């Protein structure tokens, strides 16, 4: 900010502070308001829709200003932060009435989208990214729970991670180009951090904070060492923004993407696991039977991180089974969990100094219930649950202490007093006694005055503005003695004070102030003791979350009659009478379907009319596999699941992920990702491929991709398509099988049966759907005429195409030699001519497919054309 000459001391102070926070809106405390000045005032007034005024700062000098009242500042600040602004809170650090000269002020905290952790609405979380040689090193920090994790990812994994964890703010090193990430995640705010956040000094400070000398102490491997950059940068950012309020941060944990099923961002979105597409309901919401915040977060993690290791899946499944089968135990656990608050949030608040006395009482009560949970650990049999129960620590000594110290129903605000029980501190007890005795004195003094004056209705009262007073109603005023001094006149009474009452007031008020100060001091001491235990209590809270997530899986299984799938390491997948768990909620007569995949039948091409249930079927299959691998029971009569290593989806064409890319380009990017990464152990669902381009381009791409996936990768795939030509693949590749959605046809009227059957269907019934949608009868009639014509043409053309492709395959060299174009190149320069000839000769006739032959021919034609033109 430019220096201004001859400015007031207040403005000079403001400039000094603002200069330290150039990228934040500085909220400068002035009495009962937070004021913004200059450019900040313009921004604040615009974003908050409040009046922009002026502040006089000298003779005829004004600066722009806007202000928000201190008492309702929270909602204004939330609005600013949720719009991506950083807000620096500049407080008065001393009592204005006692200050000599200008009141001391400083920024006590900077609130940013990723660090305003105590705001429930914002759900703040922070991600740091450091890039080196194409690898992304990340650190994720959720200050509301203390969760801190770091890892090394490739680009796809990074996108998937952001999708799963949904940070509100991403911080990167200066100069890092994040425009492509920003276009993909529009609701996330990005900040660049200066060099020193990534410096060696910061590394040492960070390691010092966690009392270790090297990052490997957290369990990171040698090749992950660079993760120290984002970890320490994120930690420093939290420290700088929180200032003295730094809440609990757990020891960083390595995030190992490769121990979970690969679930790309597009799959998370398409399957609507935790966040729905417009208007829908996500799987998590339908399944969630957790009773605590920790459990809810754990269940969310389970669903986004299905396991790959069959032993681990079965271990979790066994825990779920125990609670499915033992109703009494499940209900006992649920009853206890229901009374436990969000311990992770509480300890985070308590250690950040933003806690209220009620948070400590909440923690105490929750820990009591946690002890109750521990009491039933003897009844537990399954390994995973047993481990969780065993890891719960016993906090009876802390509970006992908190019980002894804290009043059961303390006030919300820390400074109101009445927090600490009797018997904790001698001085405090004495002061309280003075206060209590004071009450007795007041009673007897009131009695004495009534007798002396003869005014029976005389009463002594107290309010915060006036202090103590003697109230006499109007009709009795003539009886008031001379030594009563008037303090206030009301409509039907007068209030007085006497010397005696005034000296009493001084004594009591000073006792009261001392009580509050002492209580505050004691409270802060206990708070610190609890904060010191944060890490350990946090670990116990994690176990409570695990138990809660497991019981939630058991509860939903019991409620909905889900079954336990058979998990194995083989290739086969079999689902009997499976259904879509979300759609079924709203459609009780949902038709269940079977899926059977093995070495002879793993690439299923599913055709059928529009609206017949193809998409639903392929999505439900992916969801059932995902659920099975989280250890959950499944919405099916029976299931055998050969563990998959990835679930890929290519669904829908409406969701242009990144603006600026065509729908088709987005679709092809997703396809490229699938083709490049799928293995024999993956599971793919494709809902139409190549729709965003011309029919033949689309068909060719769909065809070539199917051939590659079915023949080369041999990956289990469900491919819903309107390209009926693709059903030909069944004859050419073993493992490809055709299915269709069954319908009941009666002339031009059809009824959807929503059942998947073997064989193909060569009609789309799109016109029928148009009719259902209410398009005029005469248009429908005409559409049918055109459709029949096209169908005839198509069938003829298809036969011809296939015939000619076969021909090309058998004798492609001859055909290429006979191409008229080929002869024309004889006049062209020898070298290039030879090059083309060599290219033709290098082709292995036996291994080329019809589609490859076509592509090759097209390429050749283009090259020749280019040569001719040059």
Ligand X SMILES: Nc1ncnc2c1ncn2[C@@H]1O[C@H](COP(=O)(O)OP(=O)(O)OP(=O)(O)O)[C@@H](O)[C@H]1O
Least distance to ligand X, CB of residue 821, Å: 41
Residue whose C-alpha is closest to residue 693's, from 668, 718, 673: 668
Nearer to ligand X, 574 or 742 (CB): 742
- Position of minimal CB gap to ligand X: 613
Nearer to ligand X, 24 or 720 (CB): 720
Nearer to ligand X, 301 or 754 (CB): 754
The reply to whether 167 sits in an annotated binding site is no
Residue whose C-alpha is closest to residue 736's, from 761, 763, 711, 699: 711
Which residues of the shown chain bind ligand X in the complex (CB under 6 A)? 587, 590-591, 608, 610-616, 720, 754
Q: Is the CB of residue 578 less than 8 Å from the CB of residue 636?
A: yes
Q: In whole angstroms, give the CA distance from residue 694 to residue 106.
A: 64
Nearer to ligand X, 616 or 717 (CB): 616
| Rg of the chain (C-alpha set) | 37
Dihedrals phi, psi of 432, to nearest 5 degrees: -65, -35
Least distance to ligand X, CB of residue 692, Å: 14
Nearer to ligand X, 522 or 656 (CB): 656
Least distance to ligand X, CB of residue 563, Å: 18
Nearer to ligand X, 162 or 612 (CB): 612
Q: Which segments of 533-578 does DSSP mark as H helices, in order? A: 534-560
SS3 135: strand
Nearer to ligand X, 775 or 837 (CB): 775
Terminal-residue alpha carbon distance, the chain: 61
Q: In whole angstroms, give the CA distance from residue 97 to residue 93.
A: 12
Nearer to ligand X, 611 or 819 (CB): 611
Q: In whole angstroms, give the CA distance from residue 814 to residue 868.
A: 22
The reply to whether 10 sits in an annotated binding site is no
Q: In whole angstroms, give the CA distance from residue 722 to residue 653.
A: 14
Q: Is the CB of residue 88 less than 8 Å from the CB of residue 21?
A: yes
Least distance to ligand X, CB of residue 589, Å: 7
Least distance to ligand X, CB of residue 575, Å: 13
The reply to whether 287 sits in an annotated binding site is no
Least distance to ligand X, CB of residue 610, Å: 3
The reply to whether 282 sits in an annotated binding site is no
Q: Is the CB of residue 523 less than 8 Å from the CB of residue 296?
A: no
Least distance to ligand X, CB of residue 561, Å: 17
Nearer to ligand X, 145 or 721 (CB): 721
Instruction: Return the structure tokens found at 90.
Output: 């500049």
Nearer to ligand X, 250 or 615 (CB): 615
Dihedrals phi, psi of 409, to nearest 5 degrees: -130, 70
Q: In whole angstroms, give the CA distance from residue 609 to residue 751.
A: 10
The reply to whether 613 sits in an annotated binding site is yes
Nearer to ligand X, 126 or 612 (CB): 612
Q: Residue 21, Cβ neighbours under 10 Å: how many? A: 16
The angle, 0 to 180 degrees and rounded to 10, between the axes of the packed helices 343-352 and 357-375 is 140
Least distance to ligand X, CB of residue 394, Å: 51
Least distance to ligand X, CB of residue 223, Å: 44
The reply to whether 609 sits in an annotated binding site is yes
| CA dihedral sign, ordered 198, 202, 208, 209 | negative
Least distance to ligand X, CB of residue 579, Å: 7
DSSP label of 646: E
Maximum Cα–Cα distance for the chain, whole Å?
133
Instruction: Return the structure tokens found at 571.
Output: 């290739």
Dihedrals phi, psi of 131, to nearest 5 degrees: -110, 135
Instruction: Return the structure tokens found at 126.
Output: 């922070």
Least distance to ligand X, CB of residue 720, Å: 6
Q: In whole angstroms, give the CA distance from residue 637 to residue 616.
A: 18
Residue whose C-alpha is closest to residue 726's, from 718, 856, 811, 653: 718
SS3 582: helix
Least distance to ligand X, CB of residue 750, Å: 13
Instruction: Return the structure tokens found at 870.
Output: 């040059």
Q: By CB neighbour count within 10 A (0-12 exposed, 13-18 middle, 19+ buried), where does 135 fall?
A: middle
Nearer to ligand X, 235 or 723 (CB): 723
SS3 687: strand
What residue ranges in 585-667 does DSSP mark as E strands? Answer: 593-597, 601-607, 638-642, 646-650
CA distances from 479 to 73, 401, 447, 486 (A): 50, 55, 16, 14
Nearer to ligand X, 64 or 692 (CB): 692
Dihedrals phi, psi of 154, to nearest 5 degrees: -90, 180
SS3 573: strand
Least distance to ligand X, CB of residue 735, Å: 23
Least distance to ligand X, CB of residue 616, Å: 3
SS3 410: coil
Nearer to ligand X, 515 or 720 (CB): 720
State the binding site: 608-615
State the binding site for ATP: 608-615
């Amino acid at each position: 900010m430019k220096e201004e000459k001859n400015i007031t001391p207040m403005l000079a102070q403001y400039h000094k502070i603002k200069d330290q926070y150039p990228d934040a809106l500085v909220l400068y405390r002035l009495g009962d308001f937070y004021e913004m000045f200059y450019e900040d005032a313009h921004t604040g007034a615009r974003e908050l829709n409040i009046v922009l005024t002026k502040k006089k700062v000298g003779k005829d000098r004004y600066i722009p200003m806007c202000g928000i009242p201190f008492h309702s500042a929270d909602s204004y600040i939330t609005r600013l932060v949720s719009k991506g602004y950083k807000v620096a809170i500049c407080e008065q650090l001393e009592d204005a009435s006692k200050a000599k000269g200008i009141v001391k002020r400083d920024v006590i905290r900077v609130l940013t989208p990723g660090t305003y952790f105590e705001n429930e609405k914002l759900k703040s979380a922070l991600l740091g990214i450091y890039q080196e040689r194409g690898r992304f090193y990340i650190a994720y920090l959720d200050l509301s729970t203390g969760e801190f994790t770091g890892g090394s990812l490739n680009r796809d994994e990074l996108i998937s991670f952001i999708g799963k964890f949904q940070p509100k703010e991403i911080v990167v090193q200066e100069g890092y180009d994040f425009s492509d990430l920003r276009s993909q995640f529009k609701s996330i705010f990005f900040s660049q951090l200066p060099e020193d956040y990534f410096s060696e000094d910061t590394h040492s400070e960070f390691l010092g904070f966690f009392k270790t000398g090297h990052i490997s102490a957290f369990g990171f491997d040698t090749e992950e060492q660079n993760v120290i950059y984002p970890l320490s940068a994120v930690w420093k950012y939290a420290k700088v923004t929180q200032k003295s309020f730094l809440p609990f941060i757990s020891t960083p944990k390595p995030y190992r993407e490769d121990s979970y099923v690969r679930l790309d961002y597009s799959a998370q979105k398409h399957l609507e696991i935790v966040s729905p597409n417009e208007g829908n309901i996500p799987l998590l919401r339908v399944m969630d039977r957790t009773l605590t915040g920790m459990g809810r977060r754990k269940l969310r993690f389970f669903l986004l991180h299905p396991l790959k290791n069959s032993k681990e899946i079965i271990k979790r499944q066994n825990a779920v089974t125990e609670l499915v089968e033992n109703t009494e135990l499940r209900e006992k656990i649920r009853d206890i969990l229901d009374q436990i608050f969000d311990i992770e949030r509480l300890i985070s608040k308590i250690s950040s100094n933003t806690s209220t006395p009620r948070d400590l009482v909440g923690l105490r009560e929750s820990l009591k219930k946690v002890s109750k949970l521990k009491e039933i650990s003897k009844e537990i049999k399954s390994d995973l649950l047993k481990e969780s129960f065993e890891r719960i620590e016993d906090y009876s000594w802390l509970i006992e202490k908190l019980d002894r110290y804290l009043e059961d129903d303390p006030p919300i605000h820390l400074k109101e007093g009445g927090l600490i029980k009797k018997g904790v501190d001698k001085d405090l007890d004495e002061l309280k006694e003075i206060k209590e005795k004071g009450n007795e004195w007041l009673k007897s003094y009131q009695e004495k005055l009534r007798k002396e004056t003869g005014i029976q209705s005389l009463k002594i009262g107290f309010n915060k503005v006036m202090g103590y007073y003697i109230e006499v109603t109007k009709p009795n005023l003539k009886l008031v003695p001379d030594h009563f001094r008037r303090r206030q006149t009301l409509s039907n009474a007068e209030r007085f004070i006497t010397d005696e009452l005034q000296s009493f007031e001084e004594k009591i008020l000073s006792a009261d102030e001392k009580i509050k100060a002492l209580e505050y001091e004691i409270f802060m001491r206990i708070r610190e003791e609890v904060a010191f235990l944060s890490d350990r209590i946090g670990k116990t809270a994690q176990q409570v979350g695990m138990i809660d997530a497991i019981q939630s899986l058991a509860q939903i299984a019991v409620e909905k009659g889900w079954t336990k799938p058979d998990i194995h390491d083989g290739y086969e997948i079999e689902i009997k009478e499976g259904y879509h768990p979300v759609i079924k909620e709203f459609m009780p007569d949902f038709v269940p379907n079977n899926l059977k995949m093995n070495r002879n039948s793993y690439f299923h091409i599913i055709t059928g009319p529009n609206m017949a249930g193809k998409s639903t079927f392929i999505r439900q299959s992916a969801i059932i596999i995902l659920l099975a691998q989280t250890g959950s029971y499944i919405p099916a009569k029976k299931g055998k699941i050969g563990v998959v290593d990835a679930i890929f989806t290519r669904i829908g064409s409406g969701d242009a992920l990144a603006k600026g890319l065509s729908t088709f380009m987005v679709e092809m990017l997703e396809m490229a990702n699938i083709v490049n990464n799928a293995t024999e152990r993956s599971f793919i669902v494709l809902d139409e491929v190549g729709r965003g381009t011309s029919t033949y381009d689309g068909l060719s791409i769909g065809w070539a991709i199917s051939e590659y996936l079915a023949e080369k990768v041999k990956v289990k795939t469900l491919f819903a398509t309107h390209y009926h030509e693709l059903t030909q693949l069944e004859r050419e590749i073993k493992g490809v099988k055709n299915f269709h959605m069954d319908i009941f046809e009666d002339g031009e009227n059809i009824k959807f049966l929503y059942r998947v059957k073997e064989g193909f269907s060569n009609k789309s019934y799109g016109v029928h759907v148009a009719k259902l949608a209410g398009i005029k009868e005469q248009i429908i009639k005409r559409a049918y005429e055109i459709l029949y014509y096209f169908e005839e043409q198509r069938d003829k053309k298809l036969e011809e195409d296939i015939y000619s492709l076969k021909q090309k395959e058998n004798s492609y060299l001859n055909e290429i030699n006979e191409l008229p174009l080929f002869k024309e190149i004889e006049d062209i320069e020898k070298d290039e001519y030879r090059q083309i000839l060599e290219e033709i000769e290098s082709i292995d006739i036996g291994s080329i497919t019809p589609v490859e032959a076509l592509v090759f021919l097209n390429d050749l034609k283009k090259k020749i054309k280019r040569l001719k033109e040059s």
